[in-house]
Structure 1
């Protein structure tokens, strides 16, 4: 479909140029030969600006896998293999992750970095013989416990934003759960890719879930996503929602950072340090206080005001009261951080690189009401801006040309970006309209 659209678009431009050829020839002083050379170069730049990725997908016994999904992760660029297991895709120069998946086989991923040369790929998929998954599937009962786990999964995975409310997982019963009560950990997996209808953004998303772990309130999930438009004609509402999801997002920030347009795009960046809170007791003292509290056979008033502890029980009460204090304190020491203190280059490759922590403030949109309410119903005071913190986990993080991180696990997001989950994510090839 993408190839046909490009051909159609190119032909349309050629027709328009030739329609104005006679007028163009009479009003300009260039020769006909120069005009035709200009036209050829212009059309060639459109036709050959993309790189062809082709190949075939086979089983280990060299049997063509017909209907295998082949797509670039987190993009709208994808296809399925034909009767010979063959495929063709076109992309622009850059870094891409090619995903090949077929039911009953292990999903394959390849890093593709074409440099103006076509790429030919031959892949053999291995059969998936996961015994553990089959055991869990056979034990799955779609009862109240499964419904409760599904609600927790959707809440964590899709998020709590307004856009999350417009998402619907079409094959919910393909999701299987395992809950470890001792570790308070919920894990989920699927044998088939999730089909998500995103009515808010106008996509049907195929998501191959690799991992989902929810421990207490800490979430980790990973997978491969393919985006397809719900309709050929994009609704105006979808365009507006996509632009709203993009504005202020991490993708928007990284694109603005690499193009040095942060202020113009509405971003302010501050830098801060994070140190342990001296008023909060150590974890060792807190654990001792909790054990002592559990061993007591009498009611204890934890709200008791004790200024000078005299007994062990008094100390336990004070310790448990102070355990509610935040573990860390943040100290802002630099406002309006310079580009050189946020981004570095290695052979013209950009990296997110900075000391301590960055506070990214998007000034052109306020917080959503669901963010202000919070997970536990306690409403925050609105600030009128969206504030996110970036924590580097690996020293630095490479930024792709599309405005995303090559390794998304190289950083940790806090604040507003942590609130915006999967439902607010856009495909990597998304580009906001110039209008």
Structure 2
């Protein structure tokens, strides 16, 4: 399952980086000060609201950032920031939102059984099916509006206001400005802007433990371990594999033709029939339909314990994820969750005792930020365990395990 998450930016990895003061004013297009505007760095716990003069002030560490500014009735604005000095002053003007989408949403939203069904699908795919997902609650569910296309099997979600998510498992209240949510078949893409706040001033021992468990084995953990050359110490094993078409599976053209012929035969063909060698057209249809259930591709492992130089390259001291074919990332210090082992219709996978994820590069390479995340998260496609973990298992990008 593909997962995207507007990240362009982001943050901190080394305590040796000096502090930078970011301050400024948030104004309307008519230069009216906007009191109470939200100002935060995307996907972090760093944020504030403007005072009566529209002023704000934030301290950050050196790095690349996306500053998000939002205010009710105005369009959300994002600014890419790379501070070049110890202090940066900004004047940010917000454009009024004409509210066309909101009017459409308000008129069309009916909280019927279809809406409830779509909401359940949204929560299962967006929040995920992990133990942590069960501790998340969207406080303003009725701000969500859904559109479904049966022709393309695509579910699209919109939100009238930023989602408020109470994450009791990790101890956060998360404001998520949903930009896009598209579920097509089993492929998911979502993007937005997130601001994390602790539910309480004092973070409980349980929350600290849950955050550490969410971090361990995550993509963030892997990328930080890769750039620091500590994969083995941190519990990662990386193998390399090639993916080729399954020679035993018929072509898409043959499968399409068999399904069209099946319609002509109506209910007279028994698809459960076992046929060793087709003797007529109906036998061929049965064999083709049965083989259509086979995987489209086969994976061939050809290298174990991939060396660092085969996974990462540097351009002007900037790290990039770069490799041939595909990577299999195995995290050996935790086993799979029970929910991961349960597939559709109650079918259960065989437990392996480790967490295995596949990385497919969608672009030539993917730049890695100093915080241990990808500058463009959509440059890769996650399969396996990372595909199972969704929004509920994500941490703010300024998260550091205790002791780091």
TM-score category of the 2 structures, normalised to the smaller one? over 0.9
- Indicate the residue corresponding to 1:164 in structure 2: 133
Question: Which structure 2 residues correspond to residues 163-312 of structure 1 after superposition, within 5 A?
Answer: 163-312=132-281
- 2:171 touches 2:207 (CA, 8 Å); kept in 1? yes
Distance (whole Å) between structure 1 residues aligned to residue 187 and residue 202 of structure 2: 39
Q: CA RMSD in A?
A: 1.5
Confirm or deny that 1:348 pairs with 2:317. yes
Structure 1 residue 62: Cα displacement? 1.7
- Indicate the residue corresponding to 1:332 in structure 2: 301
Confirm or deny that 1:428 pairs with 2:388. no
Q: Answer 1 or 2: which has greater helix percent.
A: 1
Structure 1 residue 47: Cα displacement? 12
Of the three residues 343, 358, 362, the one matched with 1:393 is: 362
Question: Which structure 2 residues correspond to residues 361-400 of structure 1 after superposition, within 5 A?
Answer: 361-400=330-369
- 2:152 touches 2:184 (CA, 8 Å); kept in 1? yes
- 1:51 touches 1:90 (CA, 8 Å); kept in 2? yes
Structure 1 residue 307: Cα displacement? 1.8
Structure 1 residue 97: Cα displacement? 1.0
SS of the counterpart of 1:417? helix
Distance (whole Å) between structure 2 residues aligned to residue 298 and residue 252 of structure 1: 53
Bigger Rg, structure 1 or 2: 1
Distance (whole Å) between structure 2 residues aligned to residue 299 and residue 137 of structure 1: 49
Distance (whole Å) between structure 2 residues aligned to residue 364 and residue 217 of structure 1: 29
- 1:170 touches 1:196 (CA, 8 Å); kept in 2? yes
Cα deviations by residue, 1:252-290 (Å, 9 ceiling, x for unpaired): 000000000000000000001001111111111111111
- 2:105 touches 2:160 (CA, 8 Å); kept in 1? no
Structure 2 CA distance for partners of 1:433 and 1:48, relative to 1, 3 Å: closer
Structure 2 CA distance for partners of 1:284 and 1:263, relative to 1, 3 Å: same
- 1:93 touches 1:116 (CA, 8 Å); kept in 2? no
Structure 1 residue 56: Cα displacement? 1.2
Gaps of 5+ in 2: 1-14
Structure 1 residue 63: Cα displacement? 1.6
Distance (whole Å) between structure 2 residues aligned to residue 377 and residue 402 of structure 1: 39
Of the three residues 65, 84, 100, the one matched with 2:53 is: 84
Distance (whole Å) between structure 2 residues aligned to residue 348 and residue 48 of structure 1: 16
Gaps of 5+ in 1: 1-45
- 1:169 touches 1:195 (CA, 8 Å); kept in 2? yes
- Indicate the residue corresponding to 2:386 in structure 1: 417
The count of corresponding residues between Structure 1 and Structure 2 is: 390
Runs of 4+ in 1 over 3 A off after TM superposition: none
Distance (whole Å) between structure 2 residues aligned to residue 132 and residue 292 of structure 1: 45
Distance (whole Å) between structure 2 residues aligned to residue 130 and residue 218 of structure 1: 30
Distance (whole Å) between structure 2 residues aligned to residue 57 and residue 335 of structure 1: 53
SS of the counterpart of 2:247? coil
Cα deviations by residue, 1:393-430 (Å, 9 ceiling, x for unpaired): 11111111110111111111000000000000000000
- 1:195 touches 1:206 (CA, 8 Å); kept in 2? yes
Cα deviations by residue, 1:87-130 (Å, 9 ceiling, x for unpaired): 11111011111111112222111111123432121121122225
- 2:17 touches 2:62 (CA, 8 Å); kept in 1? no
Cα deviations by residue, 1:295-325 (Å, 9 ceiling, x for unpaired): 2233321111122212222111111000000
Structure 2 CA distance for partners of 1:217 and 1:70, relative to 1, 3 Å: same
